[in-house]
Amino acid sequence: MAKTRIISWNINGLRACVRKGFMDWLENKPAEIVCLQEVRAREEQLEEKVKNPKRWNTHFVAAERPGYSGVGLYSRKKWDIIETATGKKEFDCEGRLQFMHFGELLIVNGYFPNGSGKNRDNSRIPYKLDFYKKVFRMLNKDFKAGKPILVLGDFNTAHEEIDLARPKGNHGTSGFCPEERAEVTRWLKAGWVDTFRHFHPDETGHYTWWSNRPGVRERNVGWRIDYVMASPGAMPYVKDATILPDVMGSDHCPIGVTVDNKIFSA
């Protein structure tokens, strides 16, 4: 059975991650499709070796605000179409989405907003929830039609207490507030599958983000806020889901799935 590996990684600034070894990691062929969040650079600000590395096809979306947000793609496979607009300026100006069509498979690379706001007052939670709902609605027709869809990226929400090291002290923190968790629950109840939990339903200690404070990552005091969500049309082709906590270079680590190549013609 021929397979394709797909990885998602919030690299917390591509130029900074490059200085920490990103290109070496990429050239070791970690996957056929690599989706990045929080690129924090316009394409013209990237070195040529980063913008157009050999044997990779690339695509970047930047926010209007300099040094903020942004998503990117490195792919061994050539896509058919990439779309980036939701039709709502308040979302599109932040450069948070790529809708990537590879044959029958739709991959959505998303950098979902943080809800904490400038003063950590949770003031951006309404914006965040509206973003979740907009993406959900945009995909609903294809989802109900049985199309294979993977929505991957930094969702900025830990769903259950098992998904963060210290849940008791964080119920009022954006990323673990009840209304944010309820939105993830809504996706799952509608039929979306959290691929990591599908393969590792009860395992603890698996996180994808750690604070930069000294010793936090070493002690594994983290949050699992990065996901690959699969539609029912995609799930039969998803063969495993992994978290790669030993890959350094960002405050997040990569996550990924391996899919049967039949997903591209499903």
Residue 117 Rama label (left phi>0; alpha psi -120 to 50; beta): left
80 in active site = no
Long-range contacts of 113-121 (CB under 8 A, 24+ apart): 113/156, 114/156, 114/174, 114/175, 115/156, 115/174, 115/175, 115/177, 115/180, 116/173, 116/174, 116/175, 117/174, 120/174
Smallest CA-to-CA distance from 206 within 151, 153, 246, 257 is with 246
Catalytic residue among 24, 92, 142, 154: 154
> Cβ(38)–Cβ(69) under 8 Å?
yes
Give, for 22, the enclosing helix (H) or strand (E).
helix 22-27
**Cα–Cα dist 173/196, whole Å:** 23
Q: How many Å is the Cα radius of gyration of the chain?
A: 17
> Cβ(76)–Cβ(69) under 8 Å?
no
Active-site residues, by number, are 154
